[in-house]
Structure 1
Amino acid sequence: MSNSNQTISGKTFTGIGNLIKLLPTGTVFMFQFLNPVLTNNGQCHTINKYLSGILMVVSAFSCCFASFTDSYEDSQGISHYGIATNKGLWPNSTSQDLSSYRLRFGDFVHALFSLIVFAVVVLLDPNSVECFYPSFESTQKVLLMALPPVIGALSGSVFVMFPNTRHGIGYPSSPSSSSSSTSSSSSAKS
């Protein structure tokens, strides 16, 4: 019996690990690191609930906000970071056309599904469950088996339909189109 529980737990953690790949790593790490401290390992008092709630809101905002950030390398190889707007990347460079970095419908889809995936991570965190919904633990085992694969499959399908081409803050930026075409033509001449 304990062997089957270990197998179920292993599959569950593998599923959660696959879901976490869809989220900003720093945000998830911050939540996983601070949540046990702020929830007092699930033994919450009122102040713990407020602090943990603030952490959840800040982390959820970070997951959504990351969907709207992007970066690029200029002709000198310097990385620049910004926020996608209707006109392009902000703050914008006057020397380069950044209109290709405009907001797209897919950015909002990614933000929504990043929020959903993060909500699943929060709802399945034992400290959060013990703190906010102590009677939920019996149902949690069913959710541990069903929710990650369902949300993972749904999110994966949506992310395939709306591929993310953004290189947000904290991710390696891609060379701008003008510098990459220049480097490929110069390497062809060599």
Structure 2
Amino acid sequence: MAGDQTESLTSSTNKESSTTEKVTSSSFQGVGNLIKLLPSGTVFVFEFLSPLLTNYGSCTTLDKNLTGALLILCGFSCCFSTFTDSIEENDKVYYGLATRNGMWLFSGSTSTNLSKYKLKFADFVHAAFSLLVFVVVALLNSDTVSCYYPSLKSNQKNVLMALPVVVGCVASTVFAAFPCTRHGIGYPRSTKTDSGEVRI
């Protein structure tokens, strides 16, 4: 009798442990997809140039136009990078752009079947949410806020603090539902060494 109860408790504990591991694994995978798809390079360029172009928030008309152009270019970069992919053949990596019929290589040729790299619905989801994440980060940057809508900085401090968190949670959920399978420009491919270790 006591043995049955012990076995039942052990089985219940194992099930709970297994469920916890699955939830944890799923959460980390979602965060990993979010980090991978965040336009980090584009954000870095924007954060580096934004103080210079906005004159540290004290904008003239020219500063606003230049900052607007930077926002458009960086936004385009976020979208464009999600539609790029790469293949590896004979220890050489070929980059290309996903199209309706397959992947169009930027240079070179390969014997790999490129039709399996064609556009998918998930690519547009990734592009939209990558752009959304960038827009939230860029438009809520303190210099951008001071330049374009200074009243928001003093009156809507809660919005400035809460919105990035909300968008980040939504984006991470979407990226977990539509995991990224592309290795585009700016996202290095992982390769396996002879010992079986994954190397980036």
TM exceeding 0.5? yes
Other-structure match for 1:96: 112
Give the structure-2-normalised TM-score. Answer: 0.74
Q: 1:143 is aligned with what amino acid?
A: V
Higher Rg: 2
Hey, what's the Cα distance between the residues in 1 that align with 2:141 and 2:35? 13
Are residues 103 and 139 of structure 1, via their aligned partners in 2, closer, same or farther at CA, if it must alter by over 3 Å? farther
Q: 1:135 to 1:21 in 2, by over 3 A?
A: farther
Which amino acid counterpart does residue 76 of structure 2 have in structure 1? F
**Conserved in 2, the CA contact under 8 Å of 1:71 and 1:166?**
yes
Q: How many residues align?
A: 161
How far off its partner does 1:94 sit? 4.8
- 2:96 pairs with 1:82: yes
SS at match of 2:175: helix
Does residue 109 in structure 1 map to residue 154 in structure 2? no
2:57 to 24, 37, 42: 42
Q: Does the 8 A contact of 2:43 with 2:138 survive in 1? A: no
Secondary structure (helix, strand or coil) at the match of 1:87 reads coil
Contact 1:167 1:174 in 2 (8 A): no
- Matched letter for residue 128 of structure 1: T
Residue in 2 aligned with 1:69?
84
User: Which protein, 1 or 2, shows the higher relative CO under an 8 Å CA cutoff with sep ≥ 6?
Assistant: 1
Q: How many angstroms does 1:146 deviate by? A: 1.4
Q: Secondary structure at the match of 1:166?
A: coil
Q: 1:134-153 CA distances to partner (integer Å, 9 max, x unpaired)?
A: 11112442023311221111
Task: Among all aligned residue pairs of Structure 1 and Structure 2, give the percentage whose two residues are the same amino acid.
Answer: 56
CA contact (8 A) 2:129 2:171 kept: yes
* Paired residues for 1:1-190 under 5 Å: 22-74=37-89, 76-91=90-105, 93-173=109-189
Q: In 2, distance between residues paired with 1:148 and 1:109?
A: 18
In the alignment, structure 1 segments of 5+ residues that lack a partner are 1-18
In the superposition, relative to structure 1, how do residues 73 and 94 fare at CA in structure 2: closer, same or farther (>3 Å)?
closer
Q: CA deviation at 1:172?
A: 1.5
Amino acid across the alignment from 2:38: L
Indicate how the Cα distance of structure 1 residues 20 and 42 shifts in structure 2: closer, same or farther if over 3 A, else same: farther
Write the distance in 2 (CA, Å) between the matches of 1:65 and 1:106: 14
Q: Please list every run of 5 or more consecutive structure 2 residues that lacks an aligned counterpart in the other structure.
A: 1-33
Residue 145 of structure 1 aligns with an amino acid whose one-letter code is: M
Q: What secondary structure, in the 3-state scheme, does the structure 2 residue paired with 1:47 have?
A: helix
User: What are the Cα deviations for residues 82-110 of structure 1, in whole angstroms up to 9, with x where unaligned?
Assistant: 00001111028352211111100000000
